[in-house]
Amino acid sequence: MKKWIALLTIIPAIGSLTVINKIEPYIFGLPFIVFWSTAWLILTSVCLFICNAIYDKREEKQQ
């Protein structure tokens, strides 16, 4: 379980730190750089939510 939690917290950091310097193409009406930043913002929230759920489930089993 600790490996999954660590992996889910590292993935957003790697994805959000990639350097992209493109405006074209437009995705959902947004320039690519804005779409990329927004997508990683949402994916980071999802990954942290999953980590929290795993951690809470593990904590309940220990009690």
Domain boundaries, the chain: 2-62
Question: Which pLDDT belongs to residue 51?
Answer: 85
Retrieve residue 25's tokens. 């193409």
SS3 31: strand
Asked if 20 and 33 touch (Cβ cutoff 8 Å), the reply is yes
Question: What is the tens place of the pLDDT at every residue in 14-56?
Answer: 776 666 776 778 888 888 888 888 888 898 888 889 888 888 8
Question: Which pLDDT belongs to residue 19?
Answer: 67
The DSSP code for 29 is: T
Question: Which pLDDT belongs to residue 33?
Answer: 81
**Residue type (1 letter), 4:** W
Give the number of other CB atoms < 10 A from CB of residue 14. 9
Asked if 36 and 52 touch (Cβ cutoff 8 Å), the reply is no
Stated pTM of the model: 0.66
The better pLDDT of the pair 44, 6 is held by 44
Question: Which pLDDT belongs to residue 16?
Answer: 66
